[in-house]
Amino acid sequence: MALRQHLLEVHKLLACVPWVVFFSRRLPPAFRSRSCQGKGWKTAFPCARKQEIREFLTVFVKVFAFSDQEKLKFSPDDQILHIYRALYPSKWLPDALELETLATEIASRYGLKLETVWTADLTLGQLFGHVQNAHRP
């Protein structure tokens, strides 16, 4: 049964590849013109290493098929659902399973089940805080 579930997850991810490759995307306009938000991340998480913040943001931008070079344009105050809605303003527009993939990646990398902390207004900073707490011994 576990193998079947794993194969189903792999199939879902592979189904996203053509979409992501064909529609490799730029940041939504609201984020595109931003300067580096690194200072905001360090202010919000003074004990976190820069590398930890960057690795977390790399997971996020890869899931959403944004360029890794643009990861620091996201602020700890950015709501995940707001970013998602900037990409998919209509509920009728099919997505590339970004939120489901984010949940899978967060669980596999950090051992945190996204559904246990999810709210409609969950921010990247809040998620990073949960990840930090889940990753502490």
Q: Which domain holds residue 42?
A: 2-135
- Which residues of the chain are modeled with pLDDT < 70? 1-24, 136-137
C-alpha dihedral sign at 103, 104, 109, 115: positive
User: How many folded domains does the chain comprise?
Assistant: 1
pLDDT score for 127: 98
pLDDT score for 18: 47
- Calculate the alpha carbon distances from 33 to 9, 12, 38, 73, 78 in Å: 35, 32, 15, 8, 15
Question: Over the stretch 62-73, which tens digit does the pLDDT of each residue have?
Answer: 999 999 999 999
Q: How many CA atoms lie within 13 A of 60 on its CB side?
A: 28
